[in-house]
Chain A
Amino acid sequence: MGRARRLPLWIPALAAAMAALPFMAGSFTISLVNEIGMAALVVMGLVLLSGIGGVTSFGHAAFVGIAAYTTAWVNTELGLSPWIGLVLALAMTAGSALVIGALTLRLGGHYLPLSTIAWGLSVPLLFGNMTMLGRHSGISDIDPIALGGFDLMRPEFVFYLVWVLVAVTALFCHNLLNARMGRLIRAVRGGKILLASVGADIFRVRLALFVFSALTAAVAGWLYAHANRFVSPAPFSLHASIDYMFMMVVGGLGQLAGALAGATIVIAMKSALQDVLPLVTQHAAQIQSVVFASLFILLLHHARGGFMALAERFMQAGPAHGKAIEFPVEPLARRAMPERGTLLLSVENAVKRFKGLVAVNDVSFDVKAGEILAVIGPNGAGKSTMFNLLTGALDLSSGHVEFMGRDVTAMGQRQIALMGMARTFQHVKLRPQMNVLENVALGAHARGNCGYLRGGLNLDGDEERQIMAEAALQISRIGLAGQEHELAGNIPLGTQRLIEIGRALAADPVLMILDEPAAGLRKPEKQALAELLLKLRESGVTIMIVEHDMDFIMKLADRLVVMNFGHKLFEGRPEAARADQHVRAAYLGNAA
């Protein structure tokens, strides 16, 4: 079997039905279906951006508008062909999205969606007030798209263009989601720390996603301008943006097919209401918007999963992401490990203050290549804070950290991760909606090169196979072979910690930083984990570990650093720690 899974049966059936449609339906229906296709283009981008990437946009109609106005203007004012208009419209929209995104995508929480309202409202206001764009009367007499010397004037001809573009976009998005960058896109929701820990920058992912979704909107805008041959501000208003969001929610937030379903349901319903309402009332137009808004609210109340959630309940098949693993493949290139016993990491007078609280106070220690160093201490001793300082997740208040001979004190998490420091988290950070294989494959992200374009065009086959084989290898190392395709969210918490170790291993780390890896594991599992860690040490990986299980630690660690109240109490061999008075006092109280 190839890397793409077998096509679900409904896709070729739908394609055949669509191809035959212009021969069976009237012009009005075809126009309506064209409208659905253009909306689906916008909603697909929105599904990727908001439904999957978690960046809610209340302004996407503005991008449709920017593209439509661009192509309309260059066509009517400069007399350029619609195909040049397409290029310019894409460029203009991408540029606008880049500027808007660069300004707003770092905003946290609800501030980001609020900012989208601001530009979603302002852009159509600009259209309506610019003399060169015809103010509120818009631009008319736009040329139809010409293809091979003949004009696509009639909706039947535009139909094929619209739907070929829809199909191409859908295929591209589908491929992308299953590729290396797609895994990042699906991992964006949930925060930047995990992404930084595998060497990816969440801001860049979001920005790329934002621009991509603006581009699908731009294609729709270009089609709209040349199919209707007229543009005005109204179809790009905030109201229209909310309509696109409605379509997305109706279809089912996180899924591409939902974009098509949502656009179809909403536009068909709108058209049906336009037919029916005038029969019952003379206020049809007003009632229509009231009915729509009410339906949207009911949907939010009762069926936030949308149409695809319903459909899945019948088909019982969840979205199976990820491609089949094939052996044998050329393994991914490995890093050269530093020579055993050389200085790998040195911490000098590290201090971390949280306002008044000093969580880490003047701690210094060294880590040698190839050893297992355990950091222990009672709750609140500052162990996890220490790990966050080393990995760059927190900034030091003062002091220095050197890793592999480079000063990493001021470096971000991402750069440190790229240097070969991989970590697990005390509070497990997996992506529950992704399967075990993909979660582990995230770890290998920085070992691949294929970007959005190669992913979307399905040209990343070799590298994807390598990454998947690597992930599968690490999964079998942590003893979870056979569970590759389970959703990470369905795995028990203790085992989730193992998956984090697998993810860290997939990064081919020089130094692994494990925060309480054995918590929640049963005895035989701990045994297996200890064996795995010893094997890793043999292969040259250096390990730092925070753990509360003393049996586990004493058998495993070469050296210990004991912390209490932010101070370093002790550094040395495990046996010596056992005998140390200060360590005993910290653990058992002074009376002991």
Chain B
Amino acid sequence: MSLDIALILSVDGLAAAAIYLLAGLGLVLVFSVTRVIFVPFGDIAVFSALTLAFLEAGRTPPTIALVAILAGLTTAKECWQLIRQRNLSRLPRILLAWGALPLIPCIPAVLAAGRDLPPAVAVAISLGLVLPIVPLLARLVYQPIADASVLVLLIASLVLHFLLSGLGLLFFGPEGFRTQPLLRGGINLAPGLFVSLQVVLMIATALLLALLFFLAFEKTLTGKALRATAINRTGARLVGIRPSMTATLTFGATSLLAGVVGILIAPATTMYYDSGLIIGLKAFVAAIIGGLGSYPLTALGAVAVGLVESFASFWNGAMKDVIVFSLLIPALLVRSHYSSHSDDGAEEEV
């Protein structure tokens, strides 16, 4: 392999790393605050990519219907709970929070569908539409078992992935889509090394978001509340942090991250309804390198996964996924060696 090829592969790898960085951050965030291993992250990214593709093609994105159905289900479930508790005074708030609020991003989407939209508007609409999906799903699927073991939550996550890819097929159909690049052209970094602006955009966005993420976590009160919940749920509750509130916030942030991932990846790869699992699981390899807890190590992990994938696809395109997943084994072994598990907590019950 010549140096030129190595450089090109590295750039490709870094572009992929940007994706895994954002996804990895989302996974670590969700796990540390809620103990949910959020396997369906990639599915949400797929939803956002396909939504953008539908808007570009001048079609009404089926995401609107999906959000409406989820909001309807969640509201029904919440209302049913209130009725069983005979606590009807909270009904208006519930209707507003779970019934009306998630539908707000649907309004611009309905209005804009079928028109010729500037790319920025289409992206904004797509992100808005995806935003309520994870909080709604989390309320429906995870909240009733919020106190169950990590393992039960993990099983629920895997099942949720299959549910979402089933819904993806139902709503978006089996065809794959690739969206227009947001930026065209590129720069010549060196002779023979042409970097497209889209790649620059991917990397820059990832770095910027990671930085924002860091600042929000370190500097704001809400960020501190999330960190407190991550460190000790009971303790956070004792000082007045509502776990369900922090969970909803976390899932909202995750939705947004997944949305951005979808938007960034859609021009680079053809997205199908079931492309999500592989994206999510590769980000997992990065997150596990970070021990599902450390953001900087997750970032390093993302770079490693991106580069390994890019070089592996050069040597053997068909096997690249297998090669990336086998990275997991050494990562897990190292992790498991250094993390001390208490004897009693190590094996949990389903």
Contacts and interface: CB of A to CB of B under 8 A. Distances in A.
B349 A113 contact: no
A188 B281 contact: no
A292 B158 CA distance: 13
A191 B163 contact: no
Nearest to A191: B343
Interface string A191-209: 1110000000000000000
Contacts of A110: 37, 150-151, 154
Interface stretch (A25-33, A297-305, A365-373, A536-544): A297-305
B348 A54 contact: yes
Contacts of B154: 56, 110, 113-114
A108 B336 contact: yes
Given A107-B333, A253-B350, A118 B325 contact: yes
Contact of A107 (B326, B336, B343, B349): B336
A147 interface: no
Interface stretch (B2-10, B300-308, B315-323): B315-323
Contact of B155 (A108, A115, A245): A245
A44 interface: no
Contact of B170 (A113, A192, A286, A292): A286
B344 A297 contact: no
B76 to A, nearest CB: 14
Interface of A (DSSP majority class): helix
A127 to B, nearest CB: 11
A521 interface: no
Interface string A115-135: 101110110011001000000
A104 interface: yes
B81 to A, nearest CB: 12
Contact of A118 (B160, B169, B329): B329
A242 B155 CA distance: 8
B228 to A, nearest CB: 22
A111 B322 contact: no
Given A106-B336, A114-B284, A300-B156, A191 B346 contact: yes
A589 interface: no
A277 interface: no
Contacts of A125: 319, 321-322
- Interface size class, chain A: 35 or more
A386 to B, nearest CB: 18
B318 A129 contact: yes
Interface in A215-257: 238-239, 242, 245-246, 249, 253
A532 B234 CA distance: 43
A56 B160 CA distance: 18
B150 A300 contact: no
Contacts of A51: 350
Contacts, number: 134
Given A111-B336, A113-B151, A54 B325 contact: no
A109 B170 contact: no
Contacts of A129: 318-319, 322
A294 interface: yes
A190 B341 CA distance: 12
Contact of A103 (B37, B162, B333): B333
B332 A188 contact: no
Contact of A191 (B141, B158, B344): B344
A403 interface: no
B349 A54 contact: yes
Contacts of B349: 54, 189
Contacts of B268: none
A296 B288 contact: no
A103 B318 CA distance: 25
Contacts of B350: 50-51, 56, 249, 253, 304
B144 interface: yes
B284 A126 contact: no
Contacts of B348: 54, 109
B198 to A, nearest CB: 28
A297 B159 contact: yes
A106 B333 CA distance: 8
B170 A290 contact: yes
B336 A242 contact: no
Contacts of A190: 344, 347
A490 to B, nearest CB: 17
A242 B151 contact: no
A290 B163 contact: yes
B235 interface: no
Given A114-B288, A114-B332, A108 B341 contact: yes
Contacts of B165: 289
A111 B151 CA distance: 10
Residue picked from B148, B151, B152, B350, most chain A C-beta under 10 Å = B350
A287 interface: yes
Interface string A485-510: 00000000000000000000000000
B345 interface: yes
A246 B159 CA distance: 9
B145 interface: yes
A94 to B, nearest CB: 19
A111 B343 contact: no
Contacts of B277: 121, 238
Interface in A260-316: 283, 286-287, 289-290, 292-294, 296-297, 300-301, 304
A293 B347 contact: no
Given A188-B347, A193-B343, A253-B350, A114 B37 contact: yes
Nearest to B164: A293
A249 B321 CA distance: 30
Contacts of A122: 321-322, 325-326
A300 B145 contact: yes
Nearest to A239: B162
Contacts of A292: 162
A121 B281 contact: yes
B157 to A, nearest CB: 10
B167 interface: yes
A212 interface: no
A58 interface: yes
Contacts of A56: 151, 154-155, 350
A113 B284 CA distance: 13
B339 interface: yes
A150 B228 CA distance: 69
Contacts of A107: 332-333, 336
Contacts of B150: 109-110
B160 A297 contact: yes
A92 to B, nearest CB: 18
A293 B162 contact: yes
Contacts of B332: 104, 107, 111, 114-115
B328 interface: yes
Given A54-B347, A108-B341, A115 B166 contact: no
B227 interface: no
B281 to A, nearest CB: 7
A106 B341 CA distance: 11
Given A109-B150, A111-B336, A113-B151, A287 B170 contact: yes
Given A245-B155, A297-B160, 15 more contacts: A54-B349, A108-B346, A113-B154, A115-B328, A115-B329, A118-B326, A122-B321, A122-B322, A188-B347, A191-B346, A193-B343, A286-B166, A300-B152, A304-B152, A304-B350
6 contacts: A109-B346, A122-B325, A188-B347, A193-B343, A242-B162, A297-B141
Interface of A: 50-51, 54, 56, 58, 103-104, 106-111, 113-115, 117-119, 121-122, 125-126, 129, 188-193, 238-239, 242, 245-246, 249, 253, 283, 286-287, 289-290, 292-294, 296-297, 300-301, 304, 427
Those 6 A-B pairs whose CB atoms lie nearest each other, nearest first: A293-B163, A108-B341, A289-B166, A191-B343, A290-B166, A129-B318
